[in-house]
C-alpha cells in the first residue's frame, strides 16, 4: 500500500514536470511565474508546495528554468517601450532577484537615452511649447518608467547620442 502511494506521487510529479516543461517550451518564465502557473495543476494532482519547489529546483539544475535568462528576454522585449524603472518594477513583481535585475539593467544603461528618445518621438513630434505640453510629455515618459534626468535631457531638445 505504501509503495503504491509512493509510485503514485512519483507519477504525479513527473506529470507536473511535463506540464512545466510544456510552458517553458513556449516562453521563458521566472521561477515565481512558473510556480503560480503550475500550482493549480499540482493541487489537482494532490501535490503540495514542497513537491512544486522540488520540481522547480530540478528544472533549474537542468537549466530549463532560469531567472537570469528570463530577465534577459524580458528586458530585450520591453526596452523599446519602457524605461528601466518600469522594467525593474515588472521584474520585481515576477519574483526576480534584485541582483539579477541590477546586473541586466546596467547593461542597457548606455543605450537608455536613445531608447527613451525613440519612445518619446513615437508619441510626440516636437519639444513642448507650453508648460501644459511639457507636463504632459513628462507624465507620459515617467509613466513609461524613464528617469526624470533623462526626461529633462530629451525635452531640452539637445542631442546626447
Q: Does residue 19 sit in the same domain as residue 60?
A: yes
Pairwise CA distance, residues 117 & 152, whole Å: 11
> Each residue of 33-92: pLDDT tens digit?
999 999 999 999 999 999 999 999 999 999 999 999 999 999 999 998 999 999 999 999
Confidence class for position 156, pLDDT limits 50, 70, 90 = confident
- Where are the alpha helices (H) located in the chain, listed in sequence order? 2-26, 31-44, 49-61, 67-78, 84-93, 98-108, 112-123, 131-143, 148-156
Residues 81 and 42 in one domain: no
**Predicted local confidence at residue 1, as pLDDT:** 53
Are 43 and 90 within one domain?
no
Distance CA 21, CA 12 (A): 14
Contact 25, 59 (CB under 8 A): no
**Burial code of 25-39, b = ≥16 C-beta within 10 A, e = fewer?**
eeebbbbebbbeebe
Does residue 30 surpass a pLDDT of 50?
A: yes
Has residue 131 been placed in a domain? yes
Residue 17 belongs to a domain: yes
Judged against a pLDDT cut of 80, whether residue 100 lies above it is answered with: yes
Clarify whether residues 79 and 105 are in a common domain: yes
Say if residue 50 is in the same domain as residue 13: yes
Residue 145 counted as domain residue = yes
Please report whether residue 118 resides in a domain: yes
Q: Render pLDDT for 102-152 as a digit per residue (tens, 0 to 9).
A: 999 998 888 888 889 999 999 998 889 999 999 999 999 999 999 999 999
- Parent domain of 81: 68-110
Is 99 domain-assigned?
Answer: yes
Domain assignment present for 161: no
Judge whether 119 and 141 are in contact, CB under 8 Å. yes
Decide if pLDDT at 159 tops 90.
no
Could you tell me the CATH number of the domain that includes residue 152?
1.10.10
pLDDT of residue 110: 82
User: 19: pLDDT confidence band, cut at 50, 70 and 90?
Assistant: very high
Residue 8: its pLDDT value, please? Answer: 84
Amino acid at each position: 500500500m505504501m509503495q503504491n502511494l509512493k509510485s503514485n506521487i512519483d507519477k504525479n510529479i513527473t506529470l507536473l514536470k511535463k506540464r512545466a516543461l510544456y510552458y517553458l517550451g513556449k516562453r521563458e518564465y521566472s521561477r515565481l511565474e512558473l510556480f503560480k502557473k503550475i500550482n493549480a495543476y499540482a493541487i489537482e494532482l494532490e501535490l503540495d508546495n514542497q513537491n512544486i519547489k522540488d520540481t522547480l529546483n530540478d528544472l533549474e539544475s537542468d537549466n530549463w528554468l532560469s531567472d537570469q535568462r528570463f530577465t534577459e528576454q524580458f528586458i530585450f522585449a520591453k526596452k523599446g517601450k519602457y524605461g528601466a524603472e518600469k522594467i525593474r518594477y515588472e521584474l520585481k513583481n515576477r519574483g526576480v532577484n534584485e541582483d539579477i535585475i541590477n546586473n541586466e539593467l546596467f547593461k542597457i544603461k548606455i543605450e537608455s537615452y536613445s531608447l527613451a528618445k525613440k519612445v518619446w518621438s513615437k508619441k510626440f513630434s516636437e519639444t513642448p511649447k507650453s508648460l501644459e505640453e511639457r507636463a504632459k510629455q513628462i507624465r507620459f515618459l515617467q509613466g513609461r518608467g524613464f528617469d526624470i534626468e533623462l526626461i529633462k535631457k530629451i525635452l531640452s531638445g539637445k542631442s546626447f547620442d
